Every structure is written in structure tokens, then in C-alpha cells.
């Protein structure tokens, strides 16, 4: 018998032997009903039986980083069901979007007193002890001592459209879900006491304040619904800026004042349609912030920037090099207006190429880019003097929208 034939016979015996062992093994499994398996799993096992348990989420539930009420807040959740990753008492860890966090199923919404005093150091400053009206505005919470539903509905529309307008306008958005609380005070003294507690100048007639990481305080006073909507949009812009900086680990290097306030006031100049939809353009008397008064302010700016003008009109370089103290000094309203108009000009008045490059500059700045004026000129590919000339022409055109 040849060697090759013997090898083939040997392989045949080995294969048949293995098959016999495999058949005996299966027969043994069938003979032992106490431990049936399918592919190493119990016979009753299926992918469906291993599906995670689901948590029923109440609208406005708080998603925390850790299973304690004092933990950082990741998001305010919509109504629905989310898969449970693990449990700890009444707390469950869930998967929401690209985030993992904890929800207390016994107290899904954080208590109002904890929310409104969260960052206000209650031992040094006490908010009014009163009945708070509470509501969920999408991913925001509302705590209000003002019960005017028409006003609250107008503010809800502004809050609803803000994040989309912000992303469309600036090309930026937080990666994680936006979260925050809006606290509306009915008493002016309470608001001024709060500002004093935050070391803010209470001589100004401000009626809005952003307190990082997630609180917006408002005092309506005599402001109209449109004016207060503009204030809310302004403060929510600060909130989104801060949340983006926090995600990037850049809260130690905030945006320069001209850019921070210019972005906030640019969105506050928005127009609002009948259904509450927000649009940034065009600039006109129907804007939320200044209304018809903007025409007079533009007229004064154009006059001040003209050759021989006697008024105060800081250049772009001057605005960009101001620290917060100088920016917030006596001419703060002028600085806010000039900054917002510069942001608007670079996004809407200098051409699509400049607008695209300016959005790139914003992306650089939130990542800690240089605030040196010539860095802006370099990224825009335009000399600052040429930008100034174009800005003056554009301002004159905007003034004409008011019939001036």
C-alpha cells in the first residue's frame, strides 16, 4: 500500500472519530434536560431576553454626572424611555444621546429650592421665600415669581428658537445636550441684592444676568415682552458660549469682552416672526433689542466715525484690546453696540468669504486662540484699516433702513 493511501485512510479515521465524539456529545446534551445549551448559552436564552431594562423618564428630569443631587448637571431630559446601565437605590444610570448620567426616579426633577440657590451661596444671599411657578422650556427649566402668562409664553418662544439660531449664525454648538435654568424675579430689590452679591455694579439698569454654569436671572421691571426676550436671548448666548468652553476645558480663558458681548447682542438684535421664529437679518426697526431707537444710535455712530467727528467711536483694534474693566466702564452701552455691529458686519455685511472665515475665527477662539487684533486680520485675510472703511460704509447703509 502506498504511503499516500495510508495517510488518507488515517485522516479518514480521525475525522470519523471526531464526528462520532461530536454526535455522542450532542446526544449526551439531549439526554440531560437539566442543562440544555445553544451555542454555549442556555436554550431559553435569546438576544431579546438580555435587552436592558428601561427607565420611564418624566419630562424635565435632571441628568446628573453622579448619583447625588449636588453633582454637575448634564442635561434636562425629554419625556420617554432610556436604557438602564446600572442602578443605585432610586438612582439609575442611563444612556442619553452620547452621554451617560444618573437620574433619581423618586425625585426626577431637582427641587426648586436646590435649583434656584444652586450657585447663589444661600448663606450669603437668600432668594425670596415664595411660591415659585415652575415649567420646562425644552431643555431649560423655568422658575418664576412672575405669573404673567403672556410674558412667559413670549420668553418660552425666544428660548425655544435660540439654540438653532446660535448654531446657524456662529457655526458653533455644544456637543452635549444644553441644560440651564431661568430664574425670573418679581422684586427689583431682590435682583439688585443678587447683583451686589455677585460684585456687579447695581447702578446700571440691567435686567438680566448669566451665572455660570447654567443660571440666567431676569427681572422684567417695565421692559416689554420684546425687550425682555432680547435680554433672555443675550444671556442664553452667554450660557451656550460657556457650555462650549466647558466642553473644551477652556473656562479658564473666556472669550474677550468684545466678542462675548458682541455675539450676545448680535443675537439679541434678532427679528421675531408672528409664530415666534427668530431670524438674525435684516437689521431694522423691528429688532428685539433697541427697536426704532436703533436708527438714532446708528445715526450717532456714523457721525462720530466721520472725519472730524467729535463723539466717541472706538476702533476695532481698541475694542479688541479692552479688558473687562475698560469694556464695562462708563461707555459700556457704546461698547456693546459697536461690538454687536462688528460681529454682524463680519457675518452679514462683508461678504460670504469673510463670513466663513469669521466663523473659522470663532471656532479658533473657543479653543483658546489668540485675541491679538492682527490675528483676526490674518484669519480674515483683510487689513484692519480696510475692514474699518468697509464697516463705515455698511453702517451708513444700515442707517438708511431707518429712513435717516
Please give the pLDDT value at position 8.
40
Q: Does the structure show a pLDDT above 80 at 217?
A: yes
Highest average pLDDT, of 3-12, 219-228, 327-336, 351-360, comes from 351-360
Give the Cα separation of 34 and 382 in Å (integer). 80
Sequence-separated (6 or more) residues with CB below 8 Å from residue 296: 404
Mean pLDDT value across residues 179-191: 86
Q: What is the dihedral of CA 332, 336, 338, 339, to 10 degrees?
A: 130
Q: Does the structure show a pLDDT above 50 at 60?
A: yes
Q: Whole-number mean pLDDT of the chain?
A: 81
Confidence of residue 17 (pLDDT cuts 50, 70, 90): very low
Please give the pLDDT value at position 313.
86
Q: What is the pLDDT of residues 301-358, one digit of tens each?
A: 998 887 766 678 889 999 999 999 999 988 888 999 999 999 999 999 999 999 999 9
DSSP 93-116: EEEETTEEEEEESSS-SPPHHHHH
Edge-to-edge order in the sheet of strand 73-77 = 54-57, 80-88, 91-96, 99-104, 61-64, 73-77
**Torsions phi, psi of 87, nearest 5?**
-125, 155
Please give the pLDDT value at position 116.
57
Sign of CA dihedral 359, 363, 365, 369: negative
139: nearest Cα among 178, 98, 103: 178
Q: Does the structure show a pLDDT above 90 at 188?
A: no
Quickly count helices (H) and strands (E) in the chain. 13, 15
Please give the pLDDT value at position 147.
93
Please give the pLDDT value at position 195.
81
Choice among 46-55, 77-86, 386-395 with the minimum mean pLDDT: 46-55
Beta bridge partners of residue 41, listed in sequence order: 38
Please give the pLDDT value at position 23.
38
Beta bridge partners of residue 180, listed in sequence order: 140
Please give the pLDDT value at position 401.
85
Amino acid at each position: 500500500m502506498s504511503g499516500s493511501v495510508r495517510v488518507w485512510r488515517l485522516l479518514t479515521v480521525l475525522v470519523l472519530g471526531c464526528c462520532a465524539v461530536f454526535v455522542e456529545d450532542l446526544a449526551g446534551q439531549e439526554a440531560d434536560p437539566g442543562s440544555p445549551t445553544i451555542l454555549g448559552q442556555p436554550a431559553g436564552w435569546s438576544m431579546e431576553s438580555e435587552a436592558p431594562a428601561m427607565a420611564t423618564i418624566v419630562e424635565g428630569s435632571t441628568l446628573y454626572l453622579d448619583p447625588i443631587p449636588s453633582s454637575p448637571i448634564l442635561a434636562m431630559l425629554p419625556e420617554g424611555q432610556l436604557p438602564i446601565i446600572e442602578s443605585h437605590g432610586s438612582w439609575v444610570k442611563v444612556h442619553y444621546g452620547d452621554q451617560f448620567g444618573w437620574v433619581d426616579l423618586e425625585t426626577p426633577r431637582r427641587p426648586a429650592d436646590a435649583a434656584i440657590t444652586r450657585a447663589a451661596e444661600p448663606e450669603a444671599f437668600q432668594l425670596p421665600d415664595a411660591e415659585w411657578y415652575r415649567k420646562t422650556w425644552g431643555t431649560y427649566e423655568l422658575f418664576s415669581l412672575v405669573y404673567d402668562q403672556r410674558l412667559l409664553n413670549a420668553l418660552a418662544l425666544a428660548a425655544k428658537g435660540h439654540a438653532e439660531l446660535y448654531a446657524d449664525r456662529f457655526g458653533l454648538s455644544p456637543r452635549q445636550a444644553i441644560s440651564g435654568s431661568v430664574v425670573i424675579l418679581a422684586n427689583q430689590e431682590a435682583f439688585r441684592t443678587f447683583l451686589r452679591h455677585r460684585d456687579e455694579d447695581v447702578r446700571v439698569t440691567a435686567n438680566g444676568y448669566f451665572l455660570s454654569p447654567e443660571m440666567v436671572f431676569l427681572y422684567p421691571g417695565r421692559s416689554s415682552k420684546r425687550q425682555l426676550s432680547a435680554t433672555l436671548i443675550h444671556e442664553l448666548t452667554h450660557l451656550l458660549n460657556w457650555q462650549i468652553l466647558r466642553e473644551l476645558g477652556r473656562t479658564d480663558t473666556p472669550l474677550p469682552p468684545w466678542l462675548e458681548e458682541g455675539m450676545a447682542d448680535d443675537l439679541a438684535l434678532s427679528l421675531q416672526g408672528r409664530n415666534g421664529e427668530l431670524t438674525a437679518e435684516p437689521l431694522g426697526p423691528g429688532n428685539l433689542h433697541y427697536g426704532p431707537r436703533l436708527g438714532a444710535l446708528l445715526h450717532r455712530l456714523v457721525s462720530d466715525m466721520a472725519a472730524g467727528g467729535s463723539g466717541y467711536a472706538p476702533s476695532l483694534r481698541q475694542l479688541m484690546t479692552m479688558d473687562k474693566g475698560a469694556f464695562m466702564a462708563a461707555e459700556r452701552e457704546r461698547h456693546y453696540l459697536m461690538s454687536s455691529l462688528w460681529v454682524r458686519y463680519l457675518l452679514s455685511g462683508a461678504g460670504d468669504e469673510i463670513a466663513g472665515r469669521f466663523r473659522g475665527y470663532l471656532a479658533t477662539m473657543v479653543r483658546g486662540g489668540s485675541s491679538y487684533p492682527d490675528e483676526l486680520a490674518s484669519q480674515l485675510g483683510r487689513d484692519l484699516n480696510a475692514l474699518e472703511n468697509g464697516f463705515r460704509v455698511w453702517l451708513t447703509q444700515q442707517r438708511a433702513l431707518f429712513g435717516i
